[in-house]
Amino acid sequence: MSRDFALIPTRAELERTLEHAAPRGRTAVVMTMGALHDGHATLVRAARAHVGTEGYVVVTVFVNPLQFGAGEDLDRYPRTLEADLKTAEAAGANAVFAPSADEVYPGGAPQVRITAGPMGERLEGASRPGHFDGMLTVVAKLLHLTRPDVAFFGQKDAQQLALIRRMAKDLNFPVEIVGVPTVREPDGLALSSRNRYLAPGERRTALALSAALFAARDRLAAQAALLARAETLPASESRAEALSRLGEARAAADAHAVAAATPGGAHAVRAAARAVLDEAAKAEPPLRLDYLALVDPSDFTEVRDDHTGEAILAVAAKVGTTRLIDNLPLTFGAPA
């Protein structure tokens, strides 16, 4: 490590470091549970670009016990601090705050915690009860300890990002929350510390998560193209009937599709994704779907079939013993 890069293990040392660093410029934080990969490095690079050379970028590395439920992989979760320090420094961090559980929770697990509310009980919250309460509690503590002007989180954990934004708004945290797009491996799999658990066959099956999202995105694009054509061909239904009489089956089918094009179509988007996931459920090893949901980004409730505007298509599944999540933001038409 260079002389300008610091490993900070305690709250007292963090306090001294930040007091010294504050005059330099804005402070940014990137919160992680370690096992850093290029997705984390992308967050650090975004933080550095945001605060500039005079700013201060802190990466936190803490495996938070509060957000692991019974039977989850707290003990199994990878801990690779030496490699994490190199990754953080190379990406532009000034320091890594890597406290022990006693430093974060002196005296044991906190009696007072933040409750995620109704949004925290949906999707990931329903599958992992209490997970988001534990996540928000540690994020709140780390925001207090690091005192950043801006905090960066990955959009791969879309529900987490939405809840952190809601917490910052509802509880008046003086911090800007920035989401950074999901980083993917060349084959499309979203980068995750848990990917290392996948055997080669399991990884092939796991590719269905991103493939399902991309199929849904392509279906939405096709719907939008049909709708655009329908708006320029008001007589397409009569055209389709004329083509049918002439025996032009393929052209007639296309014309019928144009004539039937309507705004929205969330059902068709869900169906395109589910078709891919249903095939993966027959693979060896199989994909075991937890949920597929097309939700409103503001509260993670399911959108209606005639939805227009922003939405998130989210999926979670297990392959072998490894649970993976992924999501993709989508935009449905434009409000009339």
**What are the residue numbers of the active site?**
40
Amino acid present at 160: Q
* Edge-first strand listing for the sheet containing 287-295: 287-295, 309-319, 322-332
The C-alpha atoms of residue 212 and residue 258 are separated, in whole angstroms, by 24
Contacts 24+ apart (CB under 8 A), 310-315: 311/266, 312/158, 313/213, 313/216, 313/217, 313/269, 313/270, 313/273, 314/123, 314/158, 314/159, 315/209, 315/212, 315/213, 315/273, 315/277, 315/289, 315/291
User: How far, in whole angstroms, is CA 247 from its chain's centroid?
Assistant: 49
The C-alpha atoms of residue 190 and residue 255 are separated, in whole angstroms, by 38
Burial track 142-180 (b if 16+ CB lie within 10 A, e otherwise): bbebbbbbbbbbbbbbbbbbbbbbbbbeeeebebebbbb
Are the beta carbons of 146 and 116 closer than 8 angstroms? no
Whole-number CA gyration radius for the chain = 23
User: How far, in whole angstroms, is CA 285 from its chain's centroid?
Assistant: 25
Q: Collapsing DSSP states into helix, strand and coil, what is residue 95?
A: strand
The C-alpha atoms of residue 144 and residue 62 are separated, in whole angstroms, by 15
Classify residue 328 by burial, with Cβ atoms within 10 Å: 0-12, 13-18, 19+: buried
Phi first, then psi: what are they for 8, rounded to 5°?
Answer: -115, 115
Amino acid present at 129: P
Are the beta carbons of 161 and 179 closer than 8 angstroms? yes
